[in-house]
Amino acid sequence: HAKRTGRNAYHFYAEDMNIQSRQRLALETDLRRALERNEYLLYYQPQVDPSSGEMIGVEALLRWQHRERGLVMPAEFIPLLEETGMIIPVGEWVMRTACIQAHKWLDEGRPLRMAVNLSARQLRQEDLAERVRSILLETGLPPGLLEIELTETIVMENAGEAVIALNRLKDLGVRIALDDFGTGASSLAYLKHFPIDTLKISSAIIVELEDETDAAIAGAVISMARNMKLSSVAEGVENVQQLDFLRREQCDSIQGYLISRPMSAQAFAEMLDKLPPQV
Ligand code: C2E
Ligand code: MG
Ligand code: MG
Ligand code: MG
Distance from the CA of 96 to the center of ligand 4, in angstroms? 21
Which residue's C-alpha comes closest to atom 4 of ligand 1? 61
pLDDT of 7 above 70: no
Model confidence pLDDT, tens digit, residues 78-122: 999 999 999 999 999 999 999 999 999 999 999 999 999 999 999
Give the distance (Å) from ligand 4 centre to CA of residue 14: 37
Query: How far does the centroid of ligand 2 lie from the alpha carbon of residue 14, in Å?
Result: 44
Per-residue pLDDT averaged across 172-193, rounded?
Answer: 88
DSSP 249-263: TT-SEEESTTT---E
Cα three-residue angle 99-251-98, rounded to 5 degrees: 10
Residue 147 CA to ligand 2 centre (angstroms)? 6
How do residues 128-159 score in pLDDT, each as one tens digit?
999 999 999 999 999 999 999 999 999 998 89
Contacts of 259 (CB under 8 A, 6+ apart): 46, 48, 237
Q: What is the ipTM of this complex?
A: 0.97
Instruction: Give, in order, the Cα–Cα distances in Å from 19 to each of 25, 66, 234.
Output: 10, 20, 40
Ion ligand 3 contact residues with beta carbon within 5 A? 117, 149, 179
Q: Is the CB of 74 under 6 A from ligand 1?
A: yes
Prediction pTM value: 0.93
Tens of pLDDT, residue by residue over 38-80, are: 999 999 999 999 999 999 999 999 999 999 999 999 999 999 9
